[in-house]
Structure 1
Amino acid sequence: MAFSNLTSKAVLLYDEWIKDADPRLEGWPLMSSPFPTTFIIGTYIYFVTSLGPKLMENKKPFELRQIMALYNFSVVTLSSAILKKTMILIFLMSGWATGYSFRCDIVDYSRSPTALRMVRTCWLYYFSKFIELLDTIFFVLRKKNNQVTFLHVFHHSIMPWTWWFGVKFAAGGLGTFHALLNCIVHVVMYTYYGICSLGPAYHKYLWWKKYMTTIQLVQFIMITGHIGQIYIMDDCPYQYPIFMFIIWLYGSMFLVLFLHFWYHAYTKGQRLPKMAKNGISKDQ
């Protein structure tokens, strides 16, 4: 009886909470509730941390060079499409070049063409995070289990999960700045991985690999600095301050981790064994 009452209260709280969701996303794929996203992420975590390694334990690693090359370049194509046709066109035309101040930019909940373009690009960014889960699955199938670190799995799990809430409740405003930067970085990263997966004959074209960590560091500095403004502004009526704290916490955490890597890799001249080889990381 007590469990039944607790369940009923939880359902009532959920129904009350979901009433504040953005009605413009009614009927959109994966947007009905957080449970489909949670199920996908839960299945992903179970496979890459338990089921996958057990299935591969007594098997030879799969040779996935051609598949990985296709995958990496496909992701670059997707990221480029999002970046050039969506991020630059929609993010910029939906606010970042047409009125956003790069300070306290609130969410536009209207049904204007500009606001609806922003909603679409936020959903596309969220959906792209599910495609990137294949990164870890390839690690498992190739028996590169040392690359399936807590940090890697945490990053790939938390991004689509938190972005479901971002899209559902706050598709726009200053909370989208880090997505714009992240897509730019991903185009560069997956270009690197695509060339790398073609084989040793193409590695001579990867002379710029040492700059990848710098690019990632600049990304986190810009994200943390931009979102941190909310704590020093006198009055910012952004609708969901909790999202600002999550973005700031996430950006700060990865900034510290990458500064730690930078110190060991470039200041002390030592590579970290489980961090990114060749001066880069696939966690961002």
Structure 2
Amino acid sequence: MTSNNETSSYWDYLFTELADHRTSNWFLLKDPVPGLTILVTYLFFVLKWGPAYMKDRKPFDLRKVLIAYNFVQVICSSWLLYEALDGAWLHYSWKCQPVDFSETPEAMRVARGVYIYFLTKVTELLDTIFFVLRKNERQITFLHLYHHAGMMAISWGVAKYYPGGHGTFVGMINCFIQFCIAFIHNGQLLFYSCGYPRWSVVFTLPNSIFFYYLFADFYKKTYKGEVKGSNGMDKKVH
């Protein structure tokens, strides 16, 4: 009984007391169980059940579905970029910006933007599901899975604990540019004390470095592979 009480106490401390009270009970944010269930189901489908189901079937024609899906993603991304700029970074300190945990309209606007960003990361898991249904398994690389699962997990943590402040900068950037600028801005947290948690760098900085390494390795293998020339000698494809 004591052990169960201690476990419950730790659980409440981690996912209730430490969380931002404004967003803590929003859909999918109350505790990690729903999010983990989604990720486990996603990985099981794209790695096991989906390929097995499609093995003896023709690829689905998802052209119209993909057009609609991509259109919605573009609209969401455009809106989030506008919200990030107009609601935050046109007013934020670019050196270091703490999270505003108040319930002012400005602070809640940023918190909602972070939450919507997290929800878009959930919907982007459909990218991989579409690959499976179209039998494009070659595109389902470790890099691809790591990126989608990692972004959903990290954005969940940001939305639940620190929905605002300096961490929102990462949501505005992408691919290599995302790595470079996030590296600089997250690194600044080590040298400036402004109320934004320095320990967050322990999660965001290694993730940025690891993701860059995976992207560079993927690029090298995909676009820098060796092929045979007409004289039988190996040559690089650039």
In structure 1, what is the equivalent of residue 84 of structure 2? Answer: 87
Q: CA deviation at 1:263?
A: 5.9
In structure 2, what is the equivalent of residue 11 of structure 1? Answer: 8
Question: C-alpha distance in 1, partners of 2:112/2:77?
Answer: 15
Q: Which string of whole-angstrom CA distances, capped at 9 and with x for unpartnered residues, describes residues 35-81 of structure 1? A: 11111111111111111111111111112122212211221122112
Q: Structure 1 residue 270 and structure 2 residue 199: aligned? A: no
- 2:115 partner letter: W
- 1:9 partner letter: E
Question: Contact between 1:107 and 1:238, CA under 8 Å: does it hold in 2?
Answer: yes
Please report the TM-score for the alignment, with normalisation by the length of structure 1: 0.72
Which of 135, 154, 158 lines up with 2:150 in the alignment? 158
In structure 2, what is the equivalent of residue 230 of structure 1? Answer: 189
Question: C-alpha distance in 2, partners of 1:254/1:161?
Answer: 14
In structure 2, what is the equivalent of residue 132 of structure 1? Answer: 124
Q: Structure 1 residue 20 and structure 2 residue 21: aligned? A: no
More helix by share: 1
- 5+ residue gaps, structure 1, are 183-215, 273-278, 280-284
Question: C-alpha distance in 2, partners of 1:179/1:150?
Answer: 22
Q: CA deviation at 1:169?
A: 1.0
Q: CA deviation at 1:170?
A: 0.7
State how 1:65-104 maps to structure 2 within 5 Å. 65-84=63-82, 86-91=83-88, 96-98=89-91, 100-104=92-96
- 2:10 partner letter: L
State how 1:251-270 maps to structure 2 within 5 Å. 251-260=208-217, 270=224
CA RMSD of aligned residues (A): 2.3
- 1:127 partner letter: L
Question: C-alpha distance in 2, partners of 1:116/1:74?
Answer: 24
- 1:61 partner letter: P
Question: Contact between 1:217 and 1:259, CA under 8 Å: does it hold in 2?
Answer: no
- 2:6 partner letter: K
In structure 1, what is the equivalent of residue 56 of structure 2? Answer: 58
* Cα distance change on mapping 1:10 and 1:241 into 2, 3 Å: farther
* Cα distance change on mapping 1:240 and 1:72 into 2, 3 Å: same
Q: Which string of whole-angstrom CA distances, capped at 9 and with x for unpartnered residues, describes residues 180-225 of structure 1? A: 224xxxxxxxxxxxxxxxxxxxxxxxxxxxxxxxxx3222111112
Question: Contact between 2:62 and 2:134, CA under 8 Å: does it hold in 1?
Answer: yes
Q: CA deviation at 1:178?
A: 0.6
Question: Contact between 1:104 and 1:230, CA under 8 Å: does it hold in 2?
Answer: yes
Please report the TM-score for the alignment, with normalisation by the length of structure 2: 0.85
Question: Contact between 1:30 and 1:37, CA under 8 Å: does it hold in 2?
Answer: yes
In structure 1, what is the equivalent of residue 34 of structure 2? Answer: 36
* Cα distance change on mapping 1:264 and 1:62 into 2, 3 Å: closer
Structure 2 residue matching 1:152: 3-state secondary structure:
helix
Which of 96, 105, 109 lines up with 1:113 in the alignment? 105
- 5+ residue gaps, structure 2, are 227-237
* Cα distance change on mapping 1:10 and 1:259 into 2, 3 Å: same
Q: How many residues align?
A: 226
Question: C-alpha distance in 2, partners of 1:225/1:11?
Answer: 39
- 1:109 partner letter: F
Q: CA deviation at 1:113?
A: 1.6
In structure 1, what is the equivalent of residue 177 of structure 2? Answer: 218
Question: C-alpha distance in 2, partners of 1:14/1:239?
Answer: 24
- 2:182 partner letter: I
- 1:217 partner letter: F
In structure 1, what is the equivalent of residue 135 of structure 2? Answer: 143
In structure 2, what is the equivalent of residue 195 of structure 1? Answer: none
Question: C-alpha distance in 1, partners of 2:219/2:181?
Answer: 17
Question: Contact between 1:48 and 1:136, CA under 8 Å: does it hold in 2?
Answer: yes
